[in-house]
Chains A and B, each alone.
Chain A
């Protein structure tokens, strides 16, 4: 709840300053070779667990983009995504859930519909990203040495999204899009400890991370449009 309030408090002033705001909900398909390898090793090394731990690959996503006032033909603005993914395996006396929260925040360019084909738009972003991998066993957070197990990670990514604007009213548009992102290196050394319960078994401490995503959303104007 505290996190949600914090996000809302940060978002309100950004939204107030924005020329228009896009927000939406969607899904992500993502791939991290390192997290895959850890879960694969976990499954390989525990033959006593009948149900294997699924790979982390699908996540739900919330996004918010605040585009600032038009400078020439392009908009520029602040963007943030929050993705949540989980891997859950149910075995007798051992229900294991690995959760991943990925927060992306950055700055980007919006090429509006007027510059592209009819009513389509293109966004390009450069983002910083942070991740948190946690584990729950039998419905409770795993406590090790009186602390919840959690593995933070950091990285940066480039992201694009290609979408379509469908005006609903004068100030509100439906803005579905498809997009993708690529992180050349996502550094998350402790995730091995959370997922496979080892450290140093995997030589690399980070890996590339990419995703594809679709989202449905709306675009609205908190302020009146600028007229010449």
Chain B
């Protein structure tokens, strides 16, 4: 073979080496997942919270026939807004976007939505004093190999005496839990997958409006409101869904995006019953009481964030990142503390209990400056019944089992079914929503 022959051959081989895979392989290398999978049946999404809305949005974008059944008269689930109370829109549910590395953070960027990073410094109510630093750092729950015991027990085991109990309660409350129920081990395992960043962001307008304008707006024409689902019969060729008003809906696949509390309480009857392994897994989820109380004052006499109240574990200045001249303090009450306030029985009693605690912190300034309050008790809401899911002692792989589809016909979404560490968050709910659609289409693809 002479040089000319070699050049011809090697040129052809080289071009072939590059071009053949480039031409042939892209036939298998689609830009989008499940690009060629279509589904001609009907899908019903149960629940119009962030997860159900996003699942509907994805189904719509794929051209799949779908509908959303919502138990209440509005969408948003554990997101909501309050207007007229202050001179800005208050988020009564989810308020913070957690991290700037998430699908929602991208949506914020692509829509030009204004957010403010919340760099608030913590102040602690400790031994009846407001302090900026504690004698020992109680943020001890992100280490490796923690034991599967409660936050409270672990804190005691690590030498934090009862004077730290309310601080630990506030830390657990951030996870929507009581310190006596939240597992140090399983919570830290959940945190290992956390990828969205630790900074919190507040919306200049409102989180609810952001979700409403950029996600819900795509699917509102497919939402059937006031349809609380009571029965799902998937024993036949098609699935029959019945709601509390006698309505009946027929479909081929269901995405169940209700709060896990609704599944724990067996508010929906499944025929045939869900596999026992799944119901056992669902029963291991924690989802405790939760309450947000907005207190309006005539001045800002309080610190930005106060941890460690006995009545309310965490108070936060609600006006951060907002254009407002009002003074609104959020009482963020979770777990046992929320249950105790709930037991008081009236909004006035709840407000008084909080004002008394603030008075003790700020020498009576709270009652003197108080104007109005708005109580949002998620324990009271019949189709929510709690704050958000958390990992209990003994949780194990319950979240993984609970999120698995049943018979390739029932799919599970909602923040609780997020298995990649982002449960308890809106972006986690959104991820669980799109992941349910991926699971459904992947099964069809097989």
Considering only residues 99-140 of chain B, those with a C-beta below 8 Å from chain A are: 99-103, 105-107, 109-112
Indicate whether A91 sits within 8 Å of B110 (C-beta atoms), given known contacts A199-B194, A199-B195, A199-B421: yes
**CA of A138 to CA of B109 in the docked complex: distance in angstroms?**
9
Report if B271 contacts A (CB, 8 A): no
Identify B31's interface contact among A52, A138, A164, CB under 8 A: A52
Considering only residues 24-57 of chain A, those with a C-beta below 8 Å from chain B are: 27, 29, 31, 36-37, 39-41, 43-49, 52-55, 57
Indicate whether A176 sits within 8 Å of B14 (C-beta atoms), given known contacts A45-B434, A46-B106: yes
Q: Contact between A44 and B34 (Cβ–Cβ < 8 Å)?
A: yes
Q: Contact between A119 and B14 (Cβ–Cβ < 8 Å)?
A: no
Indicate whether A144 sits within 8 Å of B33 (C-beta atoms), given known contacts A120-B6, A176-B14, A178-B13: no
**Chain B residues with CB below 8 A from A40, complex form:** 30-33, 35
Q: Contact between B32 and A119 (Cβ–Cβ < 8 Å)?
A: no
**CA of A118 to CA of B107 in the docked complex: distance in angstroms?**
59
A47 to B, closest residue via Cβ:
B61
Indicate whether A212 sits within 8 Å of B32 (C-beta atoms), given known contacts A197-B106, A198-B420: no
**Chain B residues with CB below 8 A from A180, complex form:** 17
Identify B22's interface contact among A29, A93, A137, CB under 8 A: A29
Considering only residues 29-68 of chain B, those with a C-beta below 8 Å from chain A are: 29-35, 57-58, 60-61
**Chain A residues with CB below 8 A from B34, complex form:** 44
Report if B199 contacts A (CB, 8 A): yes
Report if B377 contacts A (CB, 8 A): no
A138 to B, closest residue via Cβ:
B109
**CA of A212 to CA of B16 in the docked complex: distance in angstroms?**
10
**CA of A142 to CA of B197 in the docked complex: distance in angstroms?**
11
Report if B196 contacts A (CB, 8 A): yes
Q: Contact between A200 and B419 (Cβ–Cβ < 8 Å)?
A: yes
Report if B407 contacts A (CB, 8 A): no
**CA of A16 to CA of B164 in the docked complex: distance in angstroms?**
66
Q: What's the least CB distance linking B437 to chain A, in Å? A: 8
Q: Contact between A94 and B106 (Cβ–Cβ < 8 Å)?
A: yes
Q: What's the least CB distance linking B411 to chain A, in Å? A: 15
Q: Contact between A55 and B31 (Cβ–Cβ < 8 Å)?
A: yes
Q: Contact between B199 and A145 (Cβ–Cβ < 8 Å)?
A: yes
Q: Is the interface of B mostly helix, strand, loop or mixed?
A: helix
**Chain B residues with CB below 8 A from A166, complex form:** 3
**CA of A213 to CA of B18 in the docked complex: distance in angstroms?**
6
Q: Contact between B110 and A94 (Cβ–Cβ < 8 Å)?
A: yes
Binary CB contact string for chain B from 142 to 184 against chain A (1 if under 8 A, 0 otherwise): 0000000000000000000000000000000000000000000
A144 to B, closest residue via Cβ:
B197
**CA of A36 to CA of B32 in the docked complex: distance in angstroms?**
9
Q: Contact between A178 and B420 (Cβ–Cβ < 8 Å)?
A: no
Q: Contact between A164 and B420 (Cβ–Cβ < 8 Å)?
A: no
Q: Contact between A47 and B57 (Cβ–Cβ < 8 Å)?
A: yes
**CA of A193 to CA of B173 in the docked complex: distance in angstroms?**
27
**Chain B residues with CB below 8 A from A177, complex form:** 14
Report if A13 contacts B (CB, 8 A): no
Binary CB contact string for chain A from 47 to 81 against chain B (1 if under 8 A, 0 otherwise): 11100111101100000000000000000000000
**CA of A193 to CA of B192 in the docked complex: distance in angstroms?**
12
**Chain B residues with CB below 8 A from A179, complex form:** 17
Report if B337 contacts A (CB, 8 A): no
Q: Contact between A31 and B110 (Cβ–Cβ < 8 Å)?
A: no
**Chain A residues with CB below 8 A from B435, complex form:** 201
Identify A197's interface contact among B22, B60, B101, B438, CB under 8 A: B101
Report if A214 contacts B (CB, 8 A): yes
Report if B343 contacts A (CB, 8 A): no
Q: Contact between A52 and B422 (Cβ–Cβ < 8 Å)?
A: no
Indicate whether A93 sits within 8 Å of B10 (C-beta atoms), given known contacts A118-B2, A144-B101, A144-B197: no
Instruction: Please name 4 further chain A to chain B contacts, defined as beta carbons within 8 Å, in addition to the given A198-B195, A200-B419, sorted by A numbering.
Output: A48-B214, A176-B14, A179-B17, A197-B195
- In order of increasing CB-CB distance, the 9 nearest A-B pairs are A47-B61, A178-B14, A94-B110, A193-B195, A40-B33, A200-B420, A44-B33, A199-B195, A200-B193
- Interface set of A (CB-CB < 8 Å, partner B): 27, 29, 31, 36-37, 39-41, 43-49, 52-55, 57-58, 91-94, 96, 117-120, 137-138, 142-145, 149, 162-164, 166, 176-180, 192-193, 197-201, 212-214
